[in-house]
Chain A
Amino acid sequence: MSAALTDFAPNHYGDAGTKRRLRLAMYVALAPFGLALLGYRGAIGGDAAGGWLAFGLVFAPFLALALAYIRATYRGSTPGIKNDGVQVHELSGRRVGAYLLGTAITSLYVILYWFPGALTGVVQVMEPLSQALRKGPADQWFFYGFLYTAAVIVMGIRMIYRYRHNKYQIFRTLSVMFFQLAFAFVLPALLRAFNQPEFYFTYFWPLKYDYLFPGSFEYLWKQSGGVGMFMFGWGVIASFVLTPLLTWRFGKRWYCSWVCGCGGLAETAGDPFRQLSSKKLKAWKFERWSIHTVLVLIVVLTALLWVDLGRISNDYKAWYGFFVGAALSGVVGVGFYPLLGSRVWCRFFCPMAAVLGLFQRFFSRFRITTNGDQCMSCGNCSTYCEMGIDVRAYAMQGKNIVRASCVGCGVCAAVCPRGVLKLENGKTHKDRFEGAEHPLADLLGALKKK
């Protein structure tokens, strides 16, 4: 055998591969058409006349293309797991196309944060929608919110079509689509239209870190009347009552893969890239350091702002906003989907995920159970875990999986060809450790001895 053992990537994916590549090339070739329209609107700038027509002309082709591509990909396939060619696909298989896509998304974030002037044209295209929803002019963040929501909806449709045999996936996807559209896009816009503070009811501290900053307290509680007080109060209750309670009962999934907008994007637009997350032990070690570091940083920052050390606190705030708020959650978190997988932000950096993870690991009824000795170690569960959990390592020993990072997406259970994995909320929180390693076992043992 001359071929290296690692060289198993099918080089010629048969007729199916050729068709797939041609289809992708066709759709990509059509995209410049839409971009050209964007440029046109940018060139004539400032002209709001014919607003809805331009809006439709720019976005309808993109929508039509995306839906047609999704339909062409899955049409004619029987309901069931269809991961054929995922590892060798131009976009999902870390090939040239993936690098191009990653560069494109990263560039978009860089432009959004630091060169918004370049988006003047397309922001003007958004004008009619902004006026209708918000009673105010569009800006780059409204454009971003629109794009984000559109991505969740369109790729959510893809997700539902792809998993049409699996009700857990259908309900979960509908849930993230709903929360993104209603609570992260429409409601904040309407609040603005009615001259109320723009507030996101589905984002909490420490993810939406400024909601518990003294600045928010000033603005919402003291200056914005009853609605503002309700918003600030909701923020406090959500962070300190709702989060622990729901996580104790259902695991961190109630938020991360059912409600959260970042999770929503990862579970829809990010689904084609979930297999790219690293399953190496090194990555897990890095994750435990990085995510808890960010949590400490934001807790300290919040405390410093309340204590008010003047310039130090404010410099720290600006620094955190740049590195964590912009660079890590946007540029790296989404821009690197095609290279590092869909949950880079959630797994390595999100302080909310860190808090939820601590609750899940120590005080939750949620666990993934394994079905006796049916596992044959194929590795589908580990490969398709977006959080990079080596699920197989537990399944092949018949152990329950109780891991802080698990967002409960349920894909491991879906792709398992032997029916080995099941997401469960147990009756108690103790019985989930049957066969699993109890956290703090060493510590508890040592304490008992004393």
Chain B
Amino acid sequence: MLFQKKPGRHVVIVGNGIAGVSCARALRRRDKQARITLVSGEGPHFFSRPALMYIYMGHLTYEGTKPYEDWWWQKQRIGLRQAWVTHIDTQKKWLSFAGEAGGLGYDQLVLATGSKPNKFGWPGQNLERVQGLYSLQDLQTLEAVSHEIQHGVIVGGGLIGIELAEMLHARGKKVTILSREQSYWDNALPREESLMVSDVIAESGITLHSGTELKEIVDDGQGRACGVVTGTGEKIACEFVGLTAGVSPNLSALKGSEIPTGRGVLVDFSFRSSVEDVFAIGDCAEIVTPEGQRNRIEQLWYTGQMHGEVLADVLCGDDRTYDRGIWFNSAKFLDLEWHTYGEVPPAGFPVRPGLRQVYWQAADKRHAFRLVLAGDAVVGVNAMGIRYRHKVCERWIAEKRSAEYVLNNLKEGNFDPEFYHRYEGAIVSSLRAQVAQAGGQA
């Protein structure tokens, strides 16, 4: 059988990010015999990608972003190979590396190659001092030009966008964000929360131009960016352009291979591609959905982790399919923390019919709480500036609890530190009144 444990098989995982490493760890726990090799050109060891910003800001060292000490890999008998994959021969089951004559054979291949920053064909997008922020190499190139930067323009107002803005801001540079959306990240946040973040951005001294597109990046005559031109023709002088308009699967290692790709590597819900013994997980996987829904590409830390763990079971012969469970996420926008659970409709898209929302916001515009209801059942929880417990919110949603139940038990969900001001009293009285109003807020 294809997926049965083969003693001494060689599992090669391309990419040592959270997806690849989770797969290697989980596989090692279950299969003591397998030879496991992690291949990555980016760096020898696994580090936390979301922590790149903290290295630049001087909060953390590079060493501090590694979850495992360097000796740990040998103890786990997980081989590490620092190399860029240039070609995959699925017939001979062989990987070729850049600048190396040899290569590496595999019995089973796991692609966990992650993402690359989107570039939408803007004039000047390949100039020097223009880049995204995804890899260690991106951080190095940013560091190398940092002393030249007085003003940085960030194109794209998502999570990486605000991170890059915060990074430059922390190093004393003027920062302008160009965002196509009407208010900050309104394709992920509801309007009120999005405006709250916009307010936090303004308070910090970072400039946010909403509803503004990039038209071109200006060459200084020496191949370096010296400014941008916006959709309305406005020119902004700058010494750095950050491209953070989303990421897409990194398929550069797959060039010329027979592995079928769409936007990402096409896989089923067990992360199998249609080529024997080839799998894909994490950001680079495009999960083909039945019933003609849009295929799923998931670019989150925890989805990468779950993909890796599910695939390890699949590689050990289990008949297992991936189920993400109830959606959740969190982030920190400068000083403002965000926790979200379940279905919270963003402002930038039409809201699914039948949903009702109740919302409370503190007078300081730094704390907010939202419940999303379908009928009487709570389907989504969104909190700004207040920490909420993942397992409690997840349980409320899974058990289809009523708004009344959730409001009665709201304190149970609070995860703020001791002595913090508790907003539950204000939230409950405000939301209870809104729920009682027929229809509530549309």
Residues of A within 8 A of B (CB): 1, 3, 5-6, 8-17, 19, 78-81, 83-89, 93, 165-168, 171, 279-281, 371-374, 376-380, 382-383, 392-393, 396, 410, 413-415, 417-419, 422-424
Contacts and interface: CB of A to CB of B under 8 A. Distances in A.
B429 interface: no
Given A10-B56, A83-B54, 14 more contacts: A5-B43, A8-B139, A14-B149, A15-B171, A16-B172, A17-B172, A93-B58, A373-B305, A374-B302, A376-B51, A380-B59, A392-B67, A410-B417, A415-B59
30 contacts: A8-B139, A10-B56, A10-B143, A13-B58, A14-B171, A14-B172, A15-B172, A15-B173, A19-B172, A78-B204, A79-B335, A83-B57, A88-B58, A89-B58, A167-B419, A168-B420, A371-B389, A372-B389, A374-B339, A374-B390, A378-B51, A379-B60, A379-B66, A382-B64, A383-B59, A410-B417, A419-B330, A419-B339, A419-B415, A422-B415
Contacts of B170: 16, 84-85
B172 A3 contact: no
Given A16-B172, A166-B417, A85 B58 contact: yes
Nearest to A410: B417
Nearest to B174: A15
A156 B146 CA distance: 34
A371 B143 contact: no
Contact of B67 (A1, A16, A379, A423): A379
Given A19-B172, A373-B390, A86 B58 contact: yes
A10 B301 contact: no
B62 A13 contact: no
B64 A83 contact: no
A379 B302 contact: no
A14 B145 CA distance: 10
B69 interface: yes
A371 B64 contact: no
Contact of B62 (A5, A78, A83, A85): A5
Contacts of A85: 57-58, 170
Contacts of B48: 376-379
B387 interface: yes
Contacts of B54: 83, 378-380
B193 to A, nearest CB: 15
B123 interface: no
Contacts of A10: 56, 58, 143, 146, 171
B8 interface: no
Contacts of B59: 83-84, 86-87, 380, 383, 415
Given A14-B172, A85-B57, A374-B339, A383 B64 contact: yes
Contacts of A13: 58, 171
Nearest to B57: A84
Contacts of B65: 378-379
Interface string B25-51: 000000000000000000110001011
B291 interface: no
Contacts of A17: 171-172
Contact of A12 (B140, B146, B204, B417): B146
B332 interface: yes
Interface string B392-424: 001000000000000000000001111111000
A419 B58 contact: no
Contacts of A166: 417, 420
Contacts of B62: 5-6, 8
B133 to A, nearest CB: 14
B387 A14 contact: no
B335 A165 contact: yes
B417 A14 contact: no
3 shortest interchain CB distances as A-B pairs: A372-B390, A80-B335, A16-B172
Contacts of A81: 335
Interface in B329-354: 330-332, 334-335, 337, 339
A357 B399 CA distance: 40
A419 B147 contact: no
Count chain B CB atoms within 10 A of each CB in A1, A93, A372, A380 and give the residue with the most. A372
Count chain A CB atoms within 10 A of each CB in B139, B143, B203 and give the residue with the most. B143
B13 interface: no
A12 to B, nearest CB: 4
Given A5-B136, A16-B170, A417 B389 contact: no
B237 interface: no
A306 to B, nearest CB: 41
B311 interface: no
B429 to A, nearest CB: 23
B140 A1 contact: yes
B55 interface: yes
B420 A167 contact: yes
Contacts of B418: 167-168, 410, 423-424
A15 B150 CA distance: 9
Contacts of A78: 203-204, 334-335
Interface of B: 18, 43-44, 48, 50-51, 54-67, 69, 136-137, 139-140, 143-144, 146-147, 149, 170-173, 203-204, 301-302, 305, 328, 330-332, 334-335, 337, 339, 387, 389-391, 394, 415-421
Contacts of B389: 371-372
A65 to B, nearest CB: 24
A377 B51 contact: yes
Contacts of B332: 417-418
Contacts of A383: 59-61, 64
A309 B97 CA distance: 73
A112 B305 CA distance: 55
Contacts of B391: 372
A382 B51 CA distance: 13
B368 to A, nearest CB: 14
Contacts of B139: 8
B417 A167 contact: yes
A14 B146 contact: yes
B61 A8 contact: yes
Contacts of A382: 64
Count chain B CB atoms within 10 A of each CB in A86, A88, A374, A378 and give the residue with the most. A378
Count chain B CB atoms within 10 A of each CB in A83, A371, A379, A382 and give the residue with the most. A379
A372 B58 contact: no
Contacts of B331: 417-418
A3 B142 CA distance: 13
A351 to B, nearest CB: 28
B198 to A, nearest CB: 15
Contacts of B204: 78
Contact of A374 (B64, B140, B328): B328
A83 B172 CA distance: 14
A51 to B, nearest CB: 42
A374 B58 contact: no
B60 A87 contact: yes
Given A373-B328, A379-B67, A419-B415, A87 B171 contact: no
Contacts of A167: 417-421
Nearest to B61: A87
Nearest to A425: B418
Nearest to A378: B51
Nearest to B50: A376
A115 to B, nearest CB: 38
A331 B136 CA distance: 40
Contact of B69 (A8, A280, A372, A413): A280
Contacts of B69: 280-281
A410 B137 CA distance: 34
A3 B140 contact: yes
B165 to A, nearest CB: 14
A418 B330 contact: yes
B67 A372 contact: no
Contacts of B337: 417-419
A89 B339 CA distance: 32
